[in-house]
Amino acid sequence: MANIKDIARLAGVSVTTVSRVINGHPYVRDDKKAAVLRAMEETNYERNINAVHLIKGKTNLIGVMVPSIKRPYFGLVVEGIAEEALKGNYKLVLIQTNYEEQREQEALMMLKLKQIDALIICSKISDWDIVEEYAAYGPIIAFEDARGRNVSSIFIDHYKGFMEALAYLNGKGHRKVGYCLARKSGTSSKQREAAYRDFLKSSGEPFDPDCAFYDAIHFEDGEWIVQRLMTMQDPPTALLVTSDQVAAGILACCNERELDVPSKLAIVSFDNQPIARTLNITTFEIPLTEIGRDLFRKVMTKEFFQQEIPVRLIERLTV
Amino acid sequence: MANIKDIARLAGVSVTTVSRVINGHPYVRDDKKAAVLRAMEETNYERNINAVHLIKGKTNLIGVMVPSIKRPYFGLVVEGIAEEALKGNYKLVLIQTNYEEQREQEALMMLKLKQIDALIICSKISDWDIVEEYAAYGPIIAFEDARGRNVSSIFIDHYKGFMEALAYLNGKGHRKVGYCLARKSGTSSKQREAAYRDFLKSSGEPFDPDCAFYDAIHFEDGEWIVQRLMTMQDPPTALLVTSDQVAAGILACCNERELDVPSKLAIVSFDNQPIARTLNITTFEIPLTEIGRDLFRKVMTKEFFQQEIPVRLIERLTV
């Protein structure tokens, strides 16, 4: 296999020149650079494809930092990103972090080391200060509220969205509202829980921990939620559910047990996935796949960009 | 920023030695190699992280060749792969191919160029000859039937599975059976359709093209399927559905229109996703997420491995 010396001989330049080309050194004459690249190609200088990437300044790899793609919420965002990547023939490097700072750092380092052309952060736990620092090395966009920060972002104000939903149910006469969240420690869950507590405070109602249902993620979680509701002495009259999948599961189990929706239990969910339309579930739209597509498109422009996506109530038959 | 010359000076070796280390040349004295690696570390020789990867012979990146992750069938396999990757702190490079040979070739090239440590093929259209050729460069495993080929694989015999399902419905007295497939041109769809035609031939029944429902992929596809069934003069008495999600959607729409399942329409699906358990759908289990986990684990052992995963009938209430 060819090494740097062979390339140098073939290109008629010094080893130093080859190494300069490989290292993207600015002071290399164009004709020499061209000769080196041609020699690399001719000798099938394969193991250093990464060096070639460095020269071109492009890897065609886009990093996606995501806690875990098993969470449908992130799965849908990644689907949107993947759709755009497929169109543009980009490959995605999935860096799953499980919300561990060390792993988030690894994703940021990949950008710094030019192993990826850009980084999309679906959710993170690291400080914005750290993200801002790395934003100097290449395009970063986050699906988190980065207002006041020098990081591009497309985001949902989950606090505001939850407040809107609570006000909507309150307006419909519901005084005791339960809520189903995914991971208690997730960024959006924290915002939503804060909204819930603030809403109770402003309406002078006490907080009942029994009204909180955590780790409600999949359709099948509807089963235990309905079971728990049915054992409660004073159950909530309405549920705020942060995923249409879970809401659909709850609805299916209510139908099975002849617990009438909405007269006995009103259900409002989030996202407006197709299943919500099919089952006529009242929901607040968060276009996750669309957002994924936008994250990809915007990070590719390399321009600073911040946009809040408003949630939008879609009234159907479950309230 | 440090270049190769700086590294050489710091390590007390020649530029040639540094380039040898970078290129993984075998004839470098261990102490010199160590000095070079130390110098690289000290100078924060970042842009050549890829070169360091080459020396270690490891990138911690695993390639995943997949037509598109938007298809739930592949989405579930990728979820399983991602779960194991998360545990082992590997990153995944998603190479979506849309069944284009050129893109499949790119994925195989990444393995040859050592940009990834191993390649998992979820589905492909290229000849096995081509895949076999690249298997010489690094570990490859396919989620396709590679019997008789020198490529590791974990696979479902979809022809056999569909035959079993048809025989089961036939045994229950169903003479006219419809079937819902995802993409008509997909590898598994072709095997399933061949089984369907062979089954009809062996039982002397004619093929009715109205019994085929293509592009049935998501829950919401249940809606148009049931609509079409209701306009048919002589509709099938049973449906074979290749995804629990679609079966669930069909069931929900049947319930809404008071079309009784199973007396008016029997439903058998595939996969046994949790939604099938919740809605009591009779299904043939294909443990896609589990298979994804296994694909990852097996490709990491680098050992040749072939295994057929049998489908398993789980009788519930829709037949």
Instruction: Please tell me whether residue A118 adopts helix, strand or coil conformation.
Output: strand
Bridge-based pairing of strands B283-285 and A212-213 is: unpaired
Q: What is the pLDDT of residue B149?
A: 96
Within a domain: residue B226?
A: yes
Residue A250 structure tokens: 């709850």
- Among A19, A41, A53, A99, most B C-beta atoms within 10 A, so best to mutate, is A19
pLDDT, position B256? 86
Nearest-CB residue to B70 (from A82, A277, A279)? A82
CATH of residue A19's domain is: 1.10.260
Of all residues in chain B, the one with the smallest CA distance to A24 is: B47
Q: Does B245 reside within a domain?
A: yes
> In terms of domains, do B295 and B152 share one?
yes
Give the gap in angstroms from C-alpha A51 to the nearest C-alpha of chain B: 8
Task: Indicate if A151 and A163 belong to the same structural domain.
Answer: no
Digits of tens for pLDDT over chain A (319 positions)?
A: 567 788 888 899 988 888 788 766 767 888 888 888 888 777 766 544 555 554 556 789 999 999 989 888 899 999 999 999 999 989 999 999 988 999 999 999 999 988 899 999 999 999 999 999 999 999 999 999 999 999 999 999 999 999 999 999 999 999 999 999 998 888 889 999 999 999 999 988 889 999 999 999 999 999 999 999 999 999 999 999 999 999 999 999 998 899 999 999 999 999 998 889 888 999 999 999 999 999 999 999 999 999 999 999 999 999 9
Q: Kindly state the helix (H) or strand (E) to which residue A154 belongs, with its residue range.
A: strand A152-155
Same domain, B183 and B210: yes
Residue A48: per-residue pLDDT: 46
Rounded to the nearest angstrom, the minimum Cα separation between B194 and chain A is 30
By CA distance, what is B44's nearest residue in A? A113
Residues B81 and B135 in one domain: yes
Is the minimum CB–CB distance between A280 and chain B shorter than 8 Å? Answer: no
Higher pLDDT pick, B51 / A264: A264
Residue B48 has pLDDT above 50, yes or no: no
Touching B: A residues 212-241, CB under 8 Å: 218-220, 222-223
Query: In terms of Cα–Cα distance, which of B36, B132, B49, B313 is closest to A113?
Result: B49
Residue A84 φ then ψ, to 5° = -70, -40
Quick: pLDDT tens for B68-112: 898 888 999 999 999 999 999 899 999 999 889 999 999 999 999
End position of a domain, from candidates B56, B71, B86: B56
Does residue B178 sit in the same domain as residue B147? no
pLDDT, tens digit (0-9, with 9 covering 90-100), for B150-163: 999 999 999 999 99
Whether B94 sits inside 8 A of A92 (CB atoms) is: yes
A62-75 b/e (C-beta count within 10 Å ≥ 16 → b): bbbbbbbbbbbbbb
Structure tokens at B107: 């994925």
Q: Is residue A222 part of a domain?
A: yes
The CATH number given to whatever domain includes residue B281 is 3.40.50.2300
Count of the separate structural domains present in chain B: 3
Reading the block at residue A262, the tokens are: 């909405």
Looking at the complex, does the CB of residue B43 fall below 8 Å from at least one CB of chain A? no
- State the nearest Cα–Cα gap between B9 and chain A, in angstroms: 13
pLDDT (0 to 100) of residue B281: 96
CA gyration radius, chain A: 25
- Residues A51 and A69 occupy one common structural domain: no
Q: CA B36: distance to chain centroid? A: 41
Same-domain status, A162 and A281? yes
Domain span holding position B41: 4-56
**CB-CB under 8 Å, B96 with A85:** yes
Question: With an 8 Å Cβ cutoff, are B94 and A98 in contact?
Answer: no
Q: Mark whether B122 and B210 lie in a shared domain.
A: no
ipTM > 0.90 for the complex? no
Is the pLDDT reported for residue B50 higher than 80? no
- Report whether B281 contacts B250 (CB < 8 A): no
> A23, B92: Cβ pair inside 8 Å?
no
A131 within domain boundaries: yes
Task: Tell whether B187 and B232 lie within a shared domain.
Answer: yes
B20 vs A136: CA distance, rounded Å: 32
Rounded to a whole number of angstroms, the distance from the CA of A168 to the nearest CA of chain B is 27
User: Touching check for B52 and chain A: CB below 8 Å?
Assistant: no
In a domain, residue B319? The reply is no
Does residue B144 form part of some domain? yes
Q: Are B318 and B282 in contact (CB under 8 A)?
A: yes
Same structural domain, A50 and A136: no
A122 located within any domain: yes
Given a cut of 80, whether residue B215 has pLDDT beyond it is yes
CA distance B158 to B284: 11
Asked if residue A249 and residue A275 are part of one domain, the reply reads: yes
In this complex, do A82 and B96 lie within 8 Å of one another by their Cβ atoms?
yes
Per residue in B166-209, pLDDT (tens digit) is 999 999 999 999 999 998 888 889 999 999 999 999 988 889 99
Mean pLDDT for the stretch of residues B110-135: 94
Residues of B in contact with A16 (CB under 8 A): 4-5, 15
**B49 in A contact zone (CB under 8 Å):** yes
Cα B144 from chain centre = 8
Q: Is B200 on the interface with A (CB under 8 A)?
A: no
Q: What's the gap in Å between the CA of B206 and the closest CA on chain A?
A: 34
Place of tokens 């994804």: B292
Which 3-state string (H, E, C) describes chain B? CCCHHHHHHHHCCCHHHHHHHHCCCCCCCHHHHHHHHHHHHHCCCHHHHHHHHHHHCCCCEEEEEECCCCCHHHHHHHHHHHHHHHHHCCEEEEEECCCCHHHHHHHHHHHHCCCCCEEEECCCCCCHHHHHHHCCCCCEEECCCCCCCCCEEEECCHHHHHHHHHHHHHHCCCCCEEEECCCCCCHHHHHHHHHHHHHHHHCCCCCCHHHEECCCCCCCHHHHHHHHHHHCCCCCCEEEECCHHHHHHHHHHHHHCCCCCCCCCEEEEEECCHHHHHCCCCEEECCHHHHHHHHHHHHHHCCCCEEECCCEEECCCCC
Same domain, A178 and A265: yes
Q: Which of A93, A103, A253 sits opposite B89 (nearest CB)?
A: A103
pLDDT digits (tens, 9 = 90+) for A26-68: 678 888 888 888 887 777 665 445 555 545 567 899 999 999 8
The pair of structure tokens assigned to A208 is 């009942």
- Considering only CB atoms, B93 lies closest to which of A16, A61, A277, namely A61
The mean pLDDT value for B22-49 works out to 74
Task: Tell me if B139 is assigned to some domain.
Answer: yes
Residue A262: cis peptide before it, omega within 30 degrees of 0? yes
Give the one of A23, A46, A103 whose C-beta lies nearest to B3's C-beta. A23
Interface of A with B in 64-103 (CB under 8 A): 68-70, 75, 78-79, 82-83, 85-86, 89, 91-96, 98, 103
Angle, helices A158-171 vs A187-202, to 10°: value is 40
Are the beta carbons of A243 and A216 closer than 8 angstroms?
yes
